[in-house]
Structures are given as structure tokens and as C-alpha cells.
Amino acid sequence: YLMNHVVRPIFVFLILLLLPAQATANGLDIRPYVSGGIGAYVLGPGSGDDTVFGGYGAIGAEVMPNLALEIRGGTTANGSSAGSTFGTDWFVSYLAKPQAQVMPEVNVYGLIGASTIKSWRTPTGGTKVSATKTSFSFGGGIEYMFSNDFSIGIEAIALDFQDKTGR
């Protein structure tokens, strides 16, 4: 399962990330980067009661002036709501990041791709249930560039969709 749902997508993403490196000789400007973020993660089906702290690290590359490819890995803290406990052991996201400069120091961007998430929930008086799932992800954000090497931003991204059974 790990090979098909985590390792293989990461491998394919990295190949796609590195393929444009061949284009450098043709005058394209490919710029790799490393980033990270921390913030609130909603782990339930939309209830603010299921919000926990988490973070991620990312590697990516701007492969065209208005497009970057990025892979993220992260985790969250554990939380509790209505007597049950929940958490995310890890997640990996593979994202395309179309972006536009709206002012000299300000960029807006979208995020579209997929995420693989290993999460768990222990209902009140019940047994811990965990699952690993890959699903569609999307979002967007805005960043302020202090320099070519440092920026700060805010974003929202949906990493996972709950099915009707809450799994």
C-alpha cells in the first residue's frame, strides 16, 4: 500500500519536477526553493471543534514564470472533540502552484493536486481506527516578498474530503 499510494506518486512528482531541468540549456529560468508553514488544520468534516495545530515542509521549483511544482510533507498535533480523539500521523501533498504577481512585492497563487494522508480517530469508549487515503487537494494564498529569498504569506488548502461515514 505504501509503495502504490505514497512512494510511487512522490517518485512520479520528482521526475516531473526534474524534467524541466533539461530545458535550462534552452534559456528557461528554473528556480528551486524550500519552504515551510505552520497553522491550524481542520481534521473533521468542517467543524471548528476538530481544529489542531500542525506544520509542513516543502521543496519545489518554479518551472515557468507563473507556475511552480511543489511537494509537501507534514503532520498535526492530536486533538479531541465530543469525547473522541483524533490526529494525523503524516501527510504528503503533490501540488501545481499557478501564481501571478499583483504588485512588485505581492503574489497570489492557487494550489491544485493530490494529498496522501494517514489519520486516525478514537471514538468515546471505542477502538482507535486509522486509515491512509489519497484524495484531490486545492487551495490558494497570497505572499509578500521581503526579498528574492524570503517571503511571508497566508493560505488555505483542502487536503482531504470526508466521506459520509466520516472516514
Question: What integer pLDDT is reported at residue 74 of this predicted model?
Answer: 93
| Average pLDDT taken over every residue of the chain | 80
Nearest CA-CA partner of 62 in 11, 5, 114, 101:
101
Q: Is residue 5's pLDDT more than 80? A: no
For residue 15, name the pLDDT band (cuts at 50, 70, 90). low
Chain segment 46-102, per-residue pLDDT in tens: 555 678 889 999 999 888 889 999 999 999 999 887 788 888 899 999 999 999 999
pTM for the full predicted model: 0.76
* Percent with pLDDT over 90 in the chain: 31
